[in-house]
Structure 1
Amino acid sequence: MPARRVVTGRSQEPRKRFAEELRKLRTERGESLRRLGEVLGWDWSLFSKMEKGETLGGPEVVQALDQYYGTQKLLLALWELAAGDPTQPQRDYRQYFELEAEAVSVWNYAPCLLPGLLQTESYARTLMETGIHEGDELARQVEARLRRQERLTGADALSLRAVLSETVLRTPLPNQAQWQEQLEHLLAVGDRRNVTIQVVPHSAGLHALNSTHVTFLRLPDGRVVAWVESGFTGNRIDVTADVDLLQRRHDHVRDLALSPGDSRKFIMRRLEEAQCEPPI
């Protein structure tokens, strides 16, 4: 059994230290990521993201790694340090970010605000300035949000379907030019093969998700987890019956939405209207 490593001063950056240790243990064994996935029963891409610091993974996978490497709960200790790192986002949302980094597909309904994966820097900054962040912390949070959007590109790009209430597109930024930029960004992102954007018009009337921002995340093992949030906090829902209920409600709302093509035309009209409006 290998000697237990000491958690050194490197743990001042807990997330980085955790990723470094995972990579070191695997390379010392001469193990490939694919082989590790085969042996432990998780998709190999999860281990890749953990070693890159893109996700921490859950305690179950970390415990399995400890057992596999014979590291006597060292990895779990490092994981707990990283999960409790005060330089990371608020705990509730950190849990969501971990799920999003691991997910293979995401679909959601947004009643009031654009989902983070679709926001421009100006939109994200304006939204966060109304909260608790300021100065350097605000800059870090905006950067972190934009970095999440890298999941929409690359060989293992996330599949995203965003259903937006018309309210989202009729709540502009204070700065007209920045709002135009955001609408143009929506059109550009919606052109990607892995992204679908639909709009639920006000004429659709009341429905079961009118005040509920819900996101569904399909994980590599096929499980679907739901995330429901307000402007204050978010809650993970993984009880099958509850996820199914929310999924049925989401499907109903999606049926009320305009087609992707008509939704694109709707966004284009909003952009044209924004371009015609005189600056304040």
Structure 2
Amino acid sequence: MSESPRTPWLRWGAELRRHRNASGMTQQSLASAINVSSALISGFERGTRIPKRAHAADGDLALSTTGELERLWLEINDTREIPDEWRSFAVLERQASEIREYQTALIPGLLQSPAYARAVMRQGRDQQDTDEQIDHLTQARTSRLAHLHNTRLSFVLEETALRRVLGSKEAMVECLTHVLALLEDRRIRLSVIPDDAPLRPVVSAPFRIMNLPDGRLIGHAEHMFGENVVSDPHQVNFMVAIFGDMQAESLSPSVSKTVIEQIRRSLQ
């Protein structure tokens, strides 16, 4: 019975094969060079066997790839617990120098506490999901922020997102407390659009804009079944303009923080 490929490692296996072919080595000769079996090399390339970091380092040495296999191993290993449908998004997110996000009805995923995130997952996904699946998704979501070491984060939230109770009042209080603690980080700015802001742009769904290291801007527009990636420069620039208009209609970060504190007190 053949083994099924492990999705995160198909990319690594493809890179190993590409470098091996470019060097003119066979699976057997590469296996001999790094002291493993040719069957293991075959498994790596098919994505059915997971390499150790030492295998990646030895492969770089044997194939003269200047550390490419080990760097890719570290990247994949860092995201292996993220659900498949989130993986590409998470890799982009971790590369971004700046992320701007507008949310209509929920606290942004990067700012969610475990209890709040679990409530979102439980109420927003297929009711057939097991507790184990929900726990896995919750862990993946709430661990995202820890990987954004130097990323500037700007959020604009509708006031409704802060007042809408999900799961329980206790979960909401926990999440608002969590958000207030995160706002002590100078990289994170949050602005609230009050319910009575009449000139806010009309936007039907949340969206996000990422600044990548190569200067590109990538947008993500949310919908019921996921997100659309927006890469057309004119469309992304339109998203940037709308985000700026949202900020103009928002309360200042300091006043927004006071609003969050008031809402938290009202729930206690």
> What is the TM-score when the length of structure 2 is the normalising length?
0.74
> Structure 2: how far apart are the matches of 1:186 and 1:220?
27
> Structure 2: how far apart are the matches of 1:18 and 1:32?
14
Corresponding pairs, count: 228
**1:195 equivalent in alignment to 2:217:** no
**1:118 equivalent in alignment to 2:111:** yes
Per-residue CA distance 1:2-54 (angstroms, 9 max, x = gap): 525433169346xx649876555446548468xx9xxxxxxxxxx85762426
Structure 2 counterpart of 1:232? 225
> Structure 1: how far apart are the matches of 2:243 and 2:228?
17
Written as runs of structure 1 = structure 2, the 5 A alignment for 1:85-96 is 89=83, 91=85, 93-96=86-89
Question: Aligned letter for 2:47?
Answer: S
Question: Aligned letter for 1:119?
Answer: Q
Tell me the secondary structure at the aligned position of residue 143 of structure 2: helix
- CA RMSD in angstroms comes to 2.9
* Percent identity of paired positions between Structure 1 and Structure 2: 25
| Conservation of the 8 A alpha-carbon contact between 2:99 and 2:210 | yes
Structure 1 counterpart of 2:33? none
> Structure 2: how far apart are the matches of 1:118 and 1:232?
21
Cα gap change, 1:12 to 1:252, in 2 (>3 Å): same
| Conservation of the 8 A alpha-carbon contact between 1:225 and 1:236 | yes
Structure 2 counterpart of 1:148? 144
Question: Aligned letter for 1:139?
Answer: D
Structure 2 counterpart of 1:108? 101
> Structure 1: how far apart are the matches of 2:52 and 2:98?
26
Cα gap change, 1:22 to 1:160, in 2 (>3 Å): farther
Question: Aligned letter for 1:171?
Answer: R
Question: Aligned letter for 1:53?
Answer: I
Written as runs of structure 1 = structure 2, the 5 A alignment for 1:62-81 is none
Q: Which one has a bigger Cα radius of gyration?
A: 2
Question: Aligned letter for 1:227?
Answer: H
Question: Aligned letter for 2:138?
Answer: V
Cα gap change, 1:17 to 1:111, in 2 (>3 Å): farther
Q: 2:47 aligns with which of 1, 6, 11?
A: 11
Show structure 1 runs of 4+ deviating over 6 A.
18-21
> Structure 2: how far apart are the matches of 1:123 and 1:249?
28
> Structure 1: how far apart are the matches of 2:52 and 2:250?
43
| Conservation of the 8 A alpha-carbon contact between 1:112 and 1:167 | yes
Written as runs of structure 1 = structure 2, the 5 A alignment for 1:1-280 is 1-5=23-27, 6-8=41-43, 11-12=47-48, 17=51, 23-26=57-60, 29=64, 31=66, 48=71, 51-53=74-76, 89=83, 91=85, 93-130=86-123, 131-132=125-126, 133-152=129-148, 156-205=149-198, 207-275=200-268
Per-residue CA distance 1:156-181 (angstroms, 9 max, x = gap): 33211111110101101232222111
